[in-house]
Chain A
């Protein structure tokens, strides 16, 4: 019998615990959905199963084309050899090769030409996933390109299929077709692990569901036992009580949008014309803490970057007025917020370069950096050590301190506590609250709903490009529903 069992898998990235003793199993005939927010650890888990990452601890057992038991495959090649296949979020087929060439290459066939084509057609026919064999992969539609990924895995004799958010790129009707295929693939005795954050898909297709939150399994049961509400709760979290916070006394409006429509943040000019935020209108005031709750990819990234006035976000329509100075606390600390190879003082300097004289007064910069570090409990407080030698929490305290030192009128914080421990998180929260008290508008997004609820004076949900303000006193369930698009016009 086909089966995959993961026992107590753990994985640490620096100070961040990505997976904490996660167990999951799936047997032939089953579709097992793996649910969780962005950063919950879903992708890490199946990357470990597919041999792309090594677990720090735990065991993997596979019965498929052959048997495996150990700490995890050493390579994707070893995983494929045992009958485990993966469909990635990004396409792995080679755009300039034909469909049949891609299949033969991926599966490592010796055949070429007509023989390869015949063999590929047999795979395609068995799976019921027709493909134009002689077409170049780069010319396929997104749906067919993804189908090619699946067929590639099947051609390599996969009996256990891992899919990482496969429906994210598909239109609704295409999603239905994919889910139907997964059911029929499972019905033939194979096993499927489906990563998604869409609850309706889980309820439609899965036999069992496991929910991850911050690297920990928060729910695992047959799908019949679950409702949208229980899954949402498991996904978004319930472990912190909703803290009492004193609403600020708001000042004048410092960020105003009228019918604001934004394009997607992308390198390609064509993609920048795809709508990410549509018709947003709001008026946010000085002294307010605006909490933005959103599941990854709903347009909040573009909204925040547009508010901060940086990045390659195109304004497609409407108006946006933000009073400066604006400070941004970017989501990716190590590539967007600090320069790890620079010293602490240099990290202050490059971020404040616009306000410096041509010749740098180093002693002054060092004094400022030192004062910043001491004032916000950044350790070590030596301004001449490399930023890379600070822990993630201390780096982030420095980043927030640096942003606030310029006394901005608007602070935009993107997931400011991701990967931080409890103490560092509390310190960042204190910094942000202090900024609001001092009269700044603080707009903070977190992938952790509890954090948003904890901080926000004004609660805003971004879902499918819509910016929706929830009334004061909205319950966590109401927010969770809104994040998933329940009750929000499509």
Chain B
């Protein structure tokens, strides 16, 4: 137990150091480019943590899909399968949720929202089913197939919003607004934070519990860590375990798309995700593939995204500047992780 505590402390120190290095580099870049560093950092901080409203309605709203998709990646990865295509599953989940939501306006809200979110999960499940089949039947690596299907997913959104799901006036490339009954309620009035945040908290808790306390969790961890031992001594069907974990991963990513439509955008757009599906891979890795750490990392990246948006709005600095921070954080964490395993 003490070893685990020490590891956690070391991870935290490393993460803090990585963020400090990223911010330092951002400061240097800003200074070299002639921006006023003080106001920029002020905007970055205030955009994320300057007020309760900013924290809940900007940070947590962005952190919710990042945390959920981070958990989705973690689930596959812990079983030894890398779901690189969460961006595509997110998109198709959003299509599924929109398509169903548009027909559920007359149902009671609880039922309508549930169906909408399930449709999102089903979309993601559908999108990962093909890679899973290819992997199980033909040994084709999911890394390639999930990634490539992302582009097909983008095209599917494009088709949906200029075809079957386009808004009735058929002017804009977007769907109609989904009915009020199918929208995830805000947690309190005046906030943009929707109930999907609580769903992600519950999913995090469930995953932490199942990974450590259930037969499934042990099978997944054994399969991901040592597939040969798992198969030979544990007589675990490792092919099936990672297939199921991948399917669940795709389902969660699809759920993320559904929640984005049902809780934030209320309609289907082309660029619903600003790359959540890719950023979440870093979230999962930086969170050391531990459910609660992944959740917190997701929120932290949500803060960076929110702060970056505020920096652009209030200090006129391109929002991509925060990607410097994200990039440095990822590099530093990977370097320290590499040194430890080497």
A-B contact pairs, 24 of them (CB 8 A): A310-B231, A311-B232, A330-B233, A336-B232, A337-B229, A337-B232, A338-B226, A339-B222, A339-B226, A339-B229, A339-B230, A342-B222, A342-B225, A350-B233, A350-B234, A351-B234, A353-B219, A354-B235, A356-B215, A358-B216, A360-B212, A360-B215, A360-B218, A402-B233
Which residue of chain B has its CB nearest to the CB of A305? B232
Query: Which of A308, A341, A359, A402 makes the CB contact (< 8 A) with B225?
Result: A341
Whether the pair A350, B230 counts as a contact (CB closer than 8 A) is yes
1/0 contact trace for A341-352 toward B, CB 8 Å?
A: 110001001111
The B241-264 residues at the A interface (CB cut-off 8 A) are: none
Known: A335-B226, A362-B213. Is A346-B232 also a contact (CB below 8 A)?
Answer: no
Distance, CA A362 to CA B230, complexed state (A) = 19
Whether the pair A353, B213 counts as a contact (CB closer than 8 A) is no
Whether the pair A358, B231 counts as a contact (CB closer than 8 A) is no
B214 at the interface (CB under 8 A from A): yes
A384 at the interface (CB under 8 A from B): yes
Task: Using CB atoms and an 8 Å cutoff, list the residues of chain B in contact with chain A.
Answer: 1, 3, 212-216, 218-219, 221-222, 225-226, 228-236
Whether the pair B213, A339 counts as a contact (CB closer than 8 A) is no
Whether the pair A350, B235 counts as a contact (CB closer than 8 A) is no
Which residue of chain B has its CB nearest to the CB of A346? B218
Whether the pair A335, B229 counts as a contact (CB closer than 8 A) is yes
1/0 contact trace for A400-421 toward B, CB 8 Å?
A: 0010000000000000000000
Other than the given A339-B225, A339-B226, A349-B218, 17 more pairs (CB < 8 A) read A308-B232, A310-B232, A328-B232, A330-B233, A332-B228, A335-B226, A335-B229, A336-B232, A337-B232, A342-B225, A350-B218, A350-B234, A351-B234, A353-B236, A357-B215, A358-B214, A360-B213
Distance, CA A349 to CA B229, complexed state (A) = 12
B234: chain A residues at CB < 8 Å are 350-354
Distance, CA A252 to CA B61, complexed state (A) = 68
Which residue of chain B has its CB nearest to the CB of A341? B225
Distance, CA A339 to CA B234, complexed state (A) = 11
Task: Using CB atoms and an 8 Å cutoff, list the residues of chain A in contact with chain B.
Answer: 308, 310-311, 328, 330, 332, 335-339, 341-342, 346, 349-354, 356-360, 362, 384, 386, 402
Distance, CA A353 to CA B212, complexed state (A) = 13
Counting chain A CB atoms within 10 Å of each CB, which of B213, B221, B226 scores highest? B226
A402: chain B residues at CB < 8 Å are 233
B3: chain A residues at CB < 8 Å are 386
Query: Which of B219, B226, B235 makes the CB contact (< 8 A) with A310?
Result: B235
Q: Which 6 pairs show the lowest CB-CB distances between chains A and B?
A: A350-B222, A339-B226, A350-B234, A351-B233, A336-B228, A351-B234
Which residue of chain A has its CB nearest to the CB of B216? A358
Distance, CA A359 to CA B233, complexed state (A) = 21
A336: chain B residues at CB < 8 Å are 228-229, 232-233
Which residue of chain A has its CB nearest to the CB of B223? A350
Distance, CA A356 to CA B222, complexed state (A) = 15
Whole-angstrom distance between the Cβ of B247 and the nearest chain A Cβ? 19
Known: A336-B233, A362-B213, A384-B1. Is A353-B218 also a contact (CB below 8 A)?
Answer: yes
